[in-house]
Chain A
Amino acid sequence: MMRLLLTSLALVLMTACAERQDATPGPSPAADALQSAEKLVFMAGFKPQANLPFVAVYVAQERGYFREEGLDVEIRHAATGEHLKLLMSGDVDVTTAAASSVLKRRADPGLPVVAFALFGQRGQQAYVALESSGMRTPKDWEGKTFGYRTSVPPDYLAMLSANGVDRSKIREVNAGFDVRVLTEGRVDLLAVFKSNEPDTIRRLGFEVLQWSPEDFGVDNIGLTFITREDMVAGSPDRLARFLRATLRAMEDIQADPDGAVSVVMKYAPEEDRDHQRFMLQAEMADAFGPVTGAHGFGWMTDEQWKVLHEQLVQFDALPEFDYRAAYTHTILRAAREDKPRTNTP
């Protein structure tokens, strides 16, 4: 018996060694190219999933677009919001953040972060209630309990202001990140990520009503690629090549969303494919608008940042500061050099 066990163990070890040998062949042209490629570390701002900027990076990686740009891109994922700190410490070169977060972190504690491409022409957040609640307009929120995450969102306050809603008549609670607080009746109204959580709630068997700030007079913008000021100054070419590869991937995503979802599933095998498809579709719908129609995908105007800055200042989420340092068009311009404008719907 013992001999049989030892023989089996030896066979397993020999097989493993053989597989290892197969997996490590001699230097190939591709490996040589990778060795000479410039390293760039990208950290997605959350777990692997179909957020549009994540998908653009996944697709560019899988299709070899980064390699063609002479880049060796390492993809990492943040778990608990550590991506900004890692960007600042130099462990990460590019990450993702909402435009509002970029402004907040520039203002306090004064992080030298810079957005260089915009993936969300509308904000990420929406407000939902169960359809059975009977609410129809923001005015109906009065007398209800609103669940927010961590802190009261400025775009919610802007919506109240724009729609004549009396905030004192709404009970506001920090409800955490579990949407079941809505389905179980702990709150009547919940702040959600609109590309993700409305679908999650529907999957639980509940129809939802959804209010997006942009539909109620509150302009907002969403996820951006961000880097550090020293990267923009010192490595603009590396950033431009990174962006050029992801813009190319965006064309693929537009042409074949299902293929893009298949790529996402390689990075997020535990996730539900239909849910990832919903997320990608929702983010694609918000990625284009009048600004991208006029300037191409990824563009952001001074006016968009100004409006966002004013909104955040008005609702005490920010002090007044020079918001124009928070973004740059130089990388996007460089990425598009000698290339026709693409990705406009």
Chain B
Amino acid sequence: MPQREDRGRGARRLVDVAAPVAAVLAVLAVWEIWVRLSGTPVYVVPAPSDIAARLMDRPGHFARHGAVTLAEAAAGFALGCAASVAAATVMAHSRAAERTLYPLALLVKVTPVIAVAPLFVIWFGFGSFPKVLIAALITFFPVLVSAIAGFRSVNSGALDFMRSVSASTVEIFLKLRLPSALPYLFAAFRITVPLAVIGAVVGEWFTGDRGLGSVIIVAHNNIDMPTLFAAIVVLAAIGVALTALTAYAEGRTLFWHESRQAQRR
């Protein structure tokens, strides 16, 4: 019986991997055939084979710029998460603080990043810092909202119990509120990790000669579509890898949570 269960689980995993891979391959095949048959010029839409050839032609170039974007996105994500969790901690404990700070956070959210990105260069210069800040800015609000909701979604019985044993605010936070908030936080992380990559790329559009954003903008100016699409492929790979990493961390951290146990069943 256990052997049959193992085989069934293995088959399910195979389908889980094979189905999206097959879908991607099918899309690429249709794309390639369409470009070839229609005679679409490479400067309008490159065929997947053109993009692959460009990637193979200059792997070091894309890896180097991809590493810059990855570092900026990761730093921005970490900064944005740290700032939003800190702000959410204060807001979750004080309605007055929430009423005061939330409108400011909303202002950050509704400010178009594309409008402030050039100003960040004037304020902070040409290095990585403005790109990290833009990535942090994009990350901030979704994590903040989820963190506030998570910190407040505690089991009332557990809260009453901790208060009855005179647990301090810090103890209640670390042992009850923070664990309760983790599912909310990881949901927000999964949403914001790709956003942080986009933030870093937007920052790179405006200045600097490093990172995939600058590769994209130069390729756009040069009407070099294979390079532009190759950079997008690398960006997509970074986004998928970071999302998978987040999901892995979520699985390791929330092994106790009912959602994980239900998945296992």
| A interface residues with partner B (beta carbon < 8 Å) | 80-81, 84-85, 88-89, 104-105, 108-109, 111, 150-151, 173-178, 180-181, 184, 186
A85 and B221 contact, Cβ closer than 8 Å, known pairs A174-B126, A186-B121, A186-B125: no
A176 to chain B, nearest CB (A): 4
C-alpha spacing A174/B218, complex, angstroms: 11
C-alpha spacing A104/B223, complex, angstroms: 10
Q: Could you list some 27 contacts between A and B, CB below 8 A?
A: A84-B223, A85-B43, A88-B43, A105-B223, A108-B222, A109-B41, A109-B43, A109-B223, A109-B225, A111-B223, A150-B218, A150-B221, A151-B218, A173-B207, A173-B208, A174-B126, A174-B207, A174-B208, A174-B214, A175-B126, A175-B207, A176-B207, A178-B206, A184-B122, A186-B121, A186-B122, A186-B126
A111 and B43 contact, Cβ closer than 8 Å, known pairs A84-B223, A176-B121: yes
Contact B126 A173 (CB under 8 A): yes
> What mask results when residues 204 to 229 of chain B are scored 1 for a CB within 8 Å of chain A, else 0?
00111100001001101111110000
Interface bin, chain B: 20 to 34
A88 and B41 contact, Cβ closer than 8 Å, known pairs A150-B218, A173-B208, A176-B207: yes
- B42 contacts partner chain A, Cβ-Cβ < 8 Å: yes
Closest to B221 in A: A150
- B118 contacts partner chain A, Cβ-Cβ < 8 Å: yes
| B interface residues with partner A (beta carbon < 8 Å) | 41-44, 118-119, 121-122, 125-126, 206-209, 214, 217-218, 220-225
Interface of A is mostly: loop
Closest to A171 in B: B126
B124 to chain A, nearest CB (A): 9
C-alpha spacing A177/B117, complex, angstroms: 11
* Residues from chain B with Cβ under 8 Å of A108 in the complex: 222, 224
* Residues from chain A with Cβ under 8 Å of B206 in the complex: 176-178
* Residues from chain A with Cβ under 8 Å of B220 in the complex: 80-81
Contact B121 A81 (CB under 8 A): no
Contact A150 B223 (CB under 8 A): no
B53 to chain A, nearest CB (A): 14
Q: A81-B220, A89-B44 are in contact. List 7 more A-B contacts (CB 8 A).
A: A109-B223, A173-B126, A173-B208, A175-B121, A176-B206, A178-B118, A178-B206
Contact of A109 among B125, B126, B208, B224 (CB under 8 A): B224
A124 to chain B, nearest CB (A): 15
B218 to chain A, nearest CB (A): 6
* Residues from chain B with Cβ under 8 Å of A89 in the complex: 44
The 6 residue pairs across chains A and B that have the minimum distance between CB atoms: A176-B206, A176-B207, A178-B118, A109-B43, A174-B209, A173-B126
B67 to chain A, nearest CB (A): 18
C-alpha spacing A111/B221, complex, angstroms: 13
C-alpha spacing A151/B221, complex, angstroms: 10
* Residues from chain A with Cβ under 8 Å of B121 in the complex: 175-176, 178, 181, 186
* Residues from chain B with Cβ under 8 Å of A176 in the complex: 118, 121, 206-207
C-alpha spacing A258/B42, complex, angstroms: 44
* Residues from chain A with Cβ under 8 Å of B125 in the complex: 186
C-alpha spacing A178/B122, complex, angstroms: 8
* Residues from chain B with Cβ under 8 Å of A105 in the complex: 223
Contact A109 B207 (CB under 8 A): no
* Residues from chain B with Cβ under 8 Å of A184 in the complex: 122
B7 to chain A, nearest CB (A): 52
Closest to B117 in A: A176
* Residues from chain A with Cβ under 8 Å of B119 in the complex: 178
User: Taking each of B41, B122, B218, B225, which has the highest tally of chain A beta carbons within 10 Å of its own beta carbon?
Assistant: B122
Contact B122 A181 (CB under 8 A): yes
C-alpha spacing A174/B121, complex, angstroms: 11
C-alpha spacing A151/B218, complex, angstroms: 7
* Residues from chain A with Cβ under 8 Å of B118 in the complex: 176-178
Closest to B46 in A: A109
B68 to chain A, nearest CB (A): 13
C-alpha spacing A81/B225, complex, angstroms: 14
C-alpha spacing A104/B222, complex, angstroms: 8
